């Protein structure tokens, strides 16, 4: 697959292969987010028999390691006290 890539240490693989209903539309070069768009030929994908995906776009955002995610979650969640 990478025979023609030359130096693999500097090769930028920015066109990922996907078998699902979405293709990469945009991404952050630092890896903080990826925007996926529904493929025009999604019905021919390995997921096509599961029906029409509801979302045209899917945004994946990287919130960091487990500790960072836990801190972020605790700041945004609310706690309720039983009455």
3-state secondary structure 17-59: CCCCCEEEEEECCCCCEEEEEECCCHHHCCCHHHCCCCCCEEE
Please write the tens of the pLDDT for every residue from 14-65.
Answer: 667 777 888 889 988 888 889 999 989 888 877 788 888 889 999 998 877 7
Answer whether residue 60 is part of any domain.
yes
Query: What domain range is 56 assigned to?
Result: 1-66
Answer whether residue 79 is part of any domain.
no
Answer whether residue 15 is part of any domain.
yes
Number of domains in the chain: 1
Q: Which of residues 60 and 75 earns the better pLDDT score?
A: 60
Q: Is 37 in contact with 53 (CB distance < 8 Å)?
A: no
pLDDT, mean of residues 3-18: 75
């Amino acid at each position: 697959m990478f025979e023609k890539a030359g130096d693999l240490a500097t090769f930028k693989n920015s066109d990922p292969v996907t078998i699902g209903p979405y293709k990469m539309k945009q991404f952050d070069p630092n890896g903080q987010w990826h925007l996926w768009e529904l493929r025009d030929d999604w019905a021919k994908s390995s997921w096509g028999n599961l029906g029409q995906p509801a979302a045209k776009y899917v945004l994946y955002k990287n919130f960091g390691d487990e500790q960072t995610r836990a801190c972020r979650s605790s700041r945004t969640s609310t706690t309720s006290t039983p009455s």
